[in-house]
Amino acid sequence: MAPLNLAIFSDNGHDADDIQARKFGQHLHKKGSVKILFEVVQLTLKSEQVTQFNISKKQALNDRAKLTSGDNVATGITNIPVAHGDPETEAMWPYHPSYETYKPLVELGAKHPNLLHLGKKEMETLVAGIFAELKQKKEKLTIIVLTNFQQLEVVRDHIGGALFDEVVSEIHMQNSLPLPATLPKPPAGQGMTFIPPPGFFETAGPPDKMAWEWKHDKSAANTSQHEQSAEKFFAWSKNNKNIQFFVYSKGAAMPVSYPSPKYFESILLGSHAGKAAGGNLGIEQDWFRLVQKNVAWEYFRDSCKNPPIIPNRTKEWYLRVFCGIVGEAEVSKYPMTADDKKNEEMFFSKLYDKVGVVPYDPIAFLGAIRDIKDIGWTKIPFVAVKDQKNKWYLGENIDPKFHKDKAGPTAEAERVRKIILATLKAAFSGIR
């Protein structure tokens, strides 16, 4: 069977779920189950950080591309081109140079300049050539979008609608659709664990009976990075009948989250304090550890601000969503002071091992490769979208059997969690 052709759009290095999803891709690319034809990286630093870090927008984006290529090379792959768009118009987001441009991987990527296509013109030339070749061979392409839609829209405009429709078979995206007005509101405190009443969603019903509408969700994190391109993408795709579209929201990932110790076991460290191996495996282990450590701490720190850095995402919210800690008495066990150094010590000594890793992007990646038998996730509870026959949603609408309940994770959620952890471990076991 021919490998599945993939193209990946990501903000690689930004957080732990991006790097996990890409590690799945690398693992399957090496096995020959998929063929990653190109990657496009996105996001550069905010304007005020240019002075703070003495890094230009172009350098930050170049380094993200080199990081991504270096990650491929460290994993034993030297045939995946990596590109980015125009640095001056690239979406800006808070930037963390210590792990978003991890120096050992950036340096490794820089040693393979033939794999780098840096700039809008270079990206367009690369992708146009690949699309032309796929058309000639009469092969199809599956696109995975783990970030905003900015560069996908640039590529689509450059390729042209006719060729894009002829070559692309599916687009899978980590995003969300706006909540339908008819959706019952969850009881206070239940949040993402809320299960809609029986019969509200019909997995086998006609599309015109579905509550979900195909339009961009302003509250989605990836959409908020570049709302203009999201609006354009959903407006175009709503009328597209040639491509299958799949959206995976945070509601699909929350039930499958797993505690940090499982993450460190899967990357062969044993624990967050485990000793890294030598060579490329050690570089990869240290990078995965650094990303998860910093993202977990900084998210908690920012949630404890008054007001929190992200509106409504308070300390109580963080502890409930990522740690399963609820109630005033339990929350009070993790006090914050005015001294961030002491707060950080408290976090890593008392809380870190309770923090869950939420596999947002890995869920989308698994959906895209759902028919590959050596992964095994074929039972995906997609729900059709209202008035659409080629658009599917996996998120707050997922089957109740997929949700956590008071008795713990359900069998379906546990099965998917095991697939994620086993695939991550297999990927790290193959790094030399």
Adjacency order of strands within the sheet including 82-84: 116-118, 82-84, 34-41, 4-10, 141-145, 168-174, 244-248, 391-394, 383-384
Q: Which fold has domain 4-255+359-410?
A: Inosine-uridine Nucleoside N-ribohydrolase; Chain A (3.90.245)
Q: What percent of the chain has pLDDT over 90?
A: 65
pLDDT band for 413, please (50, 70, 90 cuts): confident
Tokens of 201: 């969603």
pLDDT tens, residue by residue, 22-46: 999 999 999 999 999 999 999 999 9
CB atoms within 10 A of CB 283: 22
Answer whether residue 401 shows pLDDT above 70: no
> Hunting for tokens 């991890």 — which residue is that?
102
Cα–Cα distances in angstroms (integers) from residue 40 to residues 337, 383, 402, in the given order: 41, 29, 32
C-alpha 177/C-alpha 234 separation (Å) is: 10
pLDDT at residue 380 in the model:
54
Q: What is the CA radius of gyration of the chain?
A: 21
Q: Residue 162 contacts by C-beta under 8 Å, 6 or more apart in sequence? A: none
Residues in the chain: 432
DSSP state for residue 275 in the 8-state scheme: P
In a 3-state reduction of DSSP, which class is residue 65?
Answer: helix
**How much is the average pLDDT of 321-329?**
87
C-alpha span between 300 and 340 (Å, rounded) = 11
Of the candidates 60, 57, 68, the one whose C-alpha atom is nearest the C-alpha of residue 115 is 68
| pLDDT for position 212 | 72
Residues 6 or more apart whose Cβ sits within 8 Å of residue 410 = 255, 401, 402, 403, 404
- Which tokens hold the place of 104? 């050992």
Cα(152)–Cα(216) distance, integer angstroms: 15
Half-sphere exposure at residue 190, Cβ-oriented, CA atoms within 13 angstroms = 14
The separation between the first and the last C-alpha atoms of the chain, rounded to the nearest angstrom, is: 28
Tokens 């019909």, residue located: 202
With a cut of 90, say whether residue 167 has pLDDT above it: yes
| Helix, strand or coil, per DSSP, at residue 398 | coil
Whether the CB-CB separation of 55 and 96 falls below 8 Å is answered with: no
Task: Provide the whole-model pTM.
Answer: 0.91
Above 60 in pLDDT, residue 407? no
- Residue that is written with structure tokens 């930037």 in the block: 95
Q: What's the pLDDT at 414?
A: 79
Report yes or no: 152 and 9 within 8 Å, Cβ to Cβ. Answer: yes
pLDDT digits (tens, 9 = 90+) for 192-228: 333 333 333 333 333 344 467 789 998 888 999 999 9
Secondary element (H or E) of residue 5? strand 4-10
To the nearest 10 degrees (0 to 180), the angle between helices 315-323 and 279-303 is: 140
The SS3 of residue 252 is: helix
pLDDT tens digits for range 351-399: 999 999 989 999 899 889 877 766 655 555 566 676 778 888 876 555 4
Calpha distance 104→89 (Å, rounded): 28
Phi–psi pair at 118, nearest 5 degrees: -105, 110
DSSP conformation letters of 117-174:
EESHHHHHHHHHHHHHHHHHHT--EEEEE-S-SHHHHHHHHHH-HHHHHHHEEEEEEE
Cβ contacts of 367 within 8 Å, gap of 6 or more? 172, 246, 248, 377, 380, 394
Backbone CA torsion sign across 253, 256, 261, 267: negative
Closest to 25 (Cα-Cα) out of 15, 14, 12: 12
DSSP state of 428: H
Domain ranges for the chain: 4-255+359-410, 258-357
> Tokens 């096995």, residue?
31
Q: For residue 327, name the pLDDT band (cuts at 50, 70, 90).
A: confident
| Whole-number Å distance between alpha carbons of 402 and 409 | 8
Greater confidence (409 vs 411) lies with: 411
